[in-house]
Structure 1
Amino acid sequence: MVVSQKARTLREVRSSDYSLQTVKQEMRKNLIGRIEEGREHFPGIIGFEDTVVPHLENAILSGQDIIFLGERGQAKSRLIRALSNLLDDEIPAIGGCEINDNPFNPICKRCSDLLAGEGDDVEIEWLDRDRRYGEKLATPDITIADLIGEVDPIKVAEGRYLSDELTIHYGLIPRHNRGIFCINELPDLAERIQVGLLNIMEERDVQIRGYRIRLPLDVFVVASANPEDYTNRGRIITPLKDRYGAQIRTHYPRNTESEIAIMEQERTQFELDGTRAVSVPQYMKEIVAEITRLARRSPDINQRSGVSVRASIADYESMLANAMRRAIRLNEKEIVPRVSDLPYVLPALTGKIEFETVEEGREEQIVERLIQGAVLAVFNHYFSLGELEPVVAKFKAGYAAEVSDM
């Protein structure tokens, strides 16, 4: 909700039309408004319109915590970051508070004391939606101090007791109070850290060095995980698994059109690209997309780790780069990729996939077969062998065509 003239004190906020809402209420309200207006609320997300997005909308409308399950490169992080679009443009918070405390109902001791002393003259600051979103990649070495908090020895040295709430240096999750916090690769958290996360989500308390603080945080905690790790036999405690109301499965693009659209949207573009026109035949785009799609079905490639859409993007960039290099050398004004550019995607592709084999030199052979298979599949889509019989007959009769290496 936007207030026409920003209030600077709690008294001014009270006199405005601002109404207090939780994060889930706020997101639900804004989602309803966007659906009614027909506005896009997850920009840049391609191929999920009829699969992932409806489940995500239902989870937000029902106020459920969400975990996204999917292999790498399935837009999980982008989808989670797009959730911040459903937050209000700005919200008021008590000025200087580490945990963005609600001016109407503060939960930390510092803000409670401030409100008791200054009353409605308490200074207010406004938080935009970017400051209300945070994320952390889970690793085994993450500590309670990183996510939740720790006793600050400097504050203790200043004369405060260990049992004093003001001695606590808050971690990432409390610092995103009244916002969205994402934990990527949740099962990689150590079990004791998962227990601490469960306490925040379920019990609404924080336990630091045995000292328990009742801290009813208003945080929308979203997580992502690889499906193989997120099982009863995996590395996540059952109570935390049960806490997430919606388990949403992502997927790779299910058709070539979506894969190509993502390639075009995400490829790196430079300002100087306009000096030479870039003209990419549709069949070349289809070949690049088909290389990735074949890799996702290849027994020679580790399917548990997946083949990211980033593979298609990197291949597309490498193909365009080689076509541009040729155009510069030959002083051509137009950049047009050819089939002969495809072998130059090898460095990009081998860096994006994990091979099942460890045999020396075998990786290049596998990639070359993928490229050949993709060219053949796209060729067969456009032509049938019967149509080309006259051409084949000419070559069999001794006709030849000379082409350059460039």
Structure 2
Amino acid sequence: MKDEIRANLLDRLAQGRDRFPGMVGFDETVLPQVERALLAGHDIVLLGERGQGKTRLMRSLVELLDEWTPVVAGCEINDHPYAPVCARCRRLAAELGEELPVAWKHRSERYAEKLATPDTSVGDLVGDVDPIKVAQGRTLGDPETIHYGLVPRANRGIVAINELPDLAERIQVSLLNVLEERDIQVRGYLLRLPLDVLLVASANPEDYTNRGRIITPLKDRFGAEVRTHYPLDLTHELSLLSQEAVLRATVPDHLLEVIARFTRLVRESPAVNARSGVSARFAIAAAETVAASALRRAAITGEDPPVARVSDLPSITQTLRGKVEFEPSEEGREQEILTHLLRRATADTFRARLGGLDLSGLLARFEDGRMVMTGELMPAQEVLAQLGPVSGLAQLLQRVGVREESPGLAAAAVEFAMEGLYLNKRLGKEELDGQTVYGR
């Protein structure tokens, strides 16, 4: 089976095809290590904080298997028709010869995944005596009384174990033979099944001290330990957002950039527990929350189509605070810290997108004491009506990435510019009863 993966991986490398669909930001770091491990025929443990794509990476390995594989029909452990290993299939092969029934298994069925929990038993992973088969008349000495666990049932495939340190140490011992001798032992049976599996596990470094550890003999038998990481730069963070977030409303590019920058600032903040990390799901959930805020406004006000604006950003800090683990010394300041970091992300995005742009036309609209009120439930048309004609609006829209004009997108760009001017102390701002008023 590992030869099969090696051959398919070499073929994809030679053709320049995508080896791990859906993986973002790992091309120069993690994936070369995984490829070397697979070419060497090693079992792998992926080590990294939560939300770094470890499970997705494990599931993507299925694409390196042959699309269809022959198995003995009805076999619990996917025996090869030419080389059966279980007692049932050897008996059938001896009785039927060339008439041995064959089925074809798709590669998607050759992947088994188990979330390690403290209550996982040896029977779950390896197998145990099946009392029903004994009750049907078989003797305890009959190998066919065994109920196979997850690992032998994934024979000739990939076995993935999430959060391996959560397995009790005595349960981890049951995997030692699988990794080294490539067989299993069930209770007192003289049973040796030469298993053909690739074992891939994931672990969080924090778990080594908080919830458990990978026992030394088991850790030694993994051929490769690969460290994963969060997106290393902003472009990868944005690519991940675009790929994963399911948005029910339009979220302009500049707001997605604010969310990506905000996520990175939260990860780097000394107020946040670095060992726990900030999952990529934080940014994804933030983008979906902002889109949901715009969708809610559209339903209440009749705005169509719904477009997210800066006034929707505060919903992030209100609903996603529980996804971040803060240092104990920051207890009670969580909302304040997130609000501050969100403002920094907005200011950084403003400088990156609109730095050097002449916004005097927008500022001129406030010279006569005019004020513009906006907020989560303020329709885009009303925001634009308060401003009136703005000189240089086309250049503003172009710089924030708006390719086709609409009231919603125009209001989103103008509101972003007003917030940036406020954060750079060129415009005043006051927040009253859920509404925001900009003025000089």
Does the 8 Å CA contact 1:66/1:245 hold for their aligned counterparts? yes
Equivalent position amino acid for 1:262 in 2 = L
Letter in 1 for 2:216: T
Match for residue 291 of structure 2? 320
Instruction: Supply the distance in 2 between the matched residues of 1:343 and 1:228 (Cα, whole angstroms).
Output: 31
* 2:218 maps to which of 210, 232, 240: 240
Partner-residue secondary structure (3-state), 1:221: strand
CA distance 1:390–1:357, shift in 2 (3 Å): farther
Distance 1:217 1:347, change over 3 A: farther
1:143-179 C-alpha deviation (Å, 9 max, x unpaired): 0010000101122223323232111000011000000
Structure 1 residue 60 displacement after superposition: 1.2
* TM-score, normalising length: structure 2: 0.79
Aligned to 1:376: 347
Aligned match of 2:424: none
Match of 1:341 in 2: 312
1:91 aligned to 2:69? Answer: yes
Structure number with larger C-alpha Rg: 2
The equivalent of 2:108 in structure 1 is 130
Query: 2:120 corresponds to which residue?
Result: 142
CA offsets, 1:33-56, max 9 Å, x none? 112222212111111111111111
SS in 2 for 1:211: coil
Q: Structure 1 residues 200, 343: CA separation in 2 closer, same or farther (over 3 Å shift)?
A: same
8 Å CA contact 1:287–1:374 kept in 2: the answer is yes
**CA 361–49 in structure 1, closer or farther in 2 if over 3 Å, else same:** same
Write out per-residue CA displacement over residues 72-121 of structure 1, whole angstroms, 9 at most, x where no aligned residue: 11111111100000111111111111101111111111111111111111
Aligned to 1:174: 152
Gaps of 5+ in 2: 379-440
Q: In structure 2, what is the equivalent of residue 18 of structure 1?
A: none
- Relative to structure 2, which stretch is displaced further, 174-183 or 382-391? 382-391
Letter in 1 for 2:271: D
| 8 Å CA contact retained: 2:259, 2:283 | yes
Displacement, 1:303? 1.7
User: Which range moves more in the overlay, 173-182 or 382-391?
Assistant: 382-391
Matching of residue 351 in structure 1 with residue 328 in structure 2: no
| 1:200/1:310 CA distance change after superposition, 3 Å | same
Q: 1:38 to 1:186 in 2, by over 3 A?
A: same
Q: What's the counterpart of residue 131 of structure 2? A: 153
> Structure 1 residues 350-359 or 220-229, which shifts more?
350-359
Residue 305 of structure 1 is matched in structure 2 by 276
Question: Secondary structure of the equivalent of 1:98?
Answer: coil
How many aligned positions are there? 375
Q: Distance in 2 between matches of 1:42 and 1:124?
A: 31
- Which structure has more RCO (C-alpha within 8 Å, separation ≥ 6)? 1
Q: Which residue of 2 aligns with 1:209?
A: 187
Segment drifting more, 257-266 vs 380-389: 380-389
Task: Give, in whole Å, the separation in 2 of the partners of 1:345 and 1:183.
Answer: 33
Structure 2 residue aligned with 1:223 = 201
Partner Cα separation in structure 1 for residue 141 and residue 101 of structure 2: 28
Could you tell me which residue of structure 2 aligns to residue 295 of structure 1? 266
CA distance in 2 between partners of 1:134 and 1:386 (Å): 54
Query: Kindly tell me: are residues 176 and 291 of structure 1, through their superposed partners in 2, closer, same or farther at Cα, counting changes over 3 Å?
Result: same
Q: In the alignment, does 2:48 pair up with 1:100?
A: no
Q: How far did 1:383 drift?
A: 5.1
**What are the within-5 Å matches in structure 2 for residues 42-57 of structure 1?**
42-57=20-35
Q: 1:391 deviation in Å?
A: 8.3
Residue from 25, 28, 35 that aligns with 2:3 = 25
Secondary structure of the structure 2 residue equivalent to 1:145: helix
TM-score (norm 1): 0.86
Contact 2:179 2:222 in 1 (8 A): no
Deviations along 1:311-358, whole A, 9 cap, x unmatched? 000000111111222233333333332211110112442132122248
Q: Do the aligned partners of 2:20 and 2:60 also contact (CA within 8 Å) in 1? A: yes
Cα offsets for 1:173-216 (capped at 9, x unmatched): 10000000100111111111111111122123322223341111
Q: How far 1:373 moved relative to its partner?
A: 1.9
1:164 matched to 2:142: yes
Render the CA deviation track for 1:354-391: whole Å, top value 9, x for unaligned. 22248775322222122122112222334569977998
Report the CA distance between 1:259 and its aligned residue.
0.9
Which segment is superposed worse, 316-325 or 166-175? 316-325
Q: Is residue 401 of structure 1 aligned with residue 363 of structure 2?
A: no
Greater displacement, 261-270 / 184-193: 261-270
Take 1:88 and 1:160, find their aligned partners in 2: how far apart are those partners?
37
Letter paired with 2:320: L
For the residue of structure 1 that corresponds to 2:184, the secondary structure is strand
CA distance in 1, matches of 2:45, 2:71: 28
Say if 1:311 and 1:348, in contact at 8 Å, map to a contact too.
no
Choose from 174, 192, 195 the match for 2:170: 192
Give the whole-Å Cα distance in 1 for the aligned partners of 2:171 and 2:374.
61
Cα deviation for residue 71 of structure 1 reads 0.7
Amino acid at match of 2:335: E
- Answer yes or no: is 1:330 the counterpart of 2:263: no
Q: Structure 1: which 5+ residue stretches go unaligned?
A: 1-22
Whether the 8 Å contact between 2:247 and 2:291 is mirrored in structure 1 is no
The CA distance in 1 between the partners of 2:330 and 2:239, in whole Å, is 35
**Distance (Å, rounded) in 2 between the aligned partners of 1:343 and 1:35:** 45
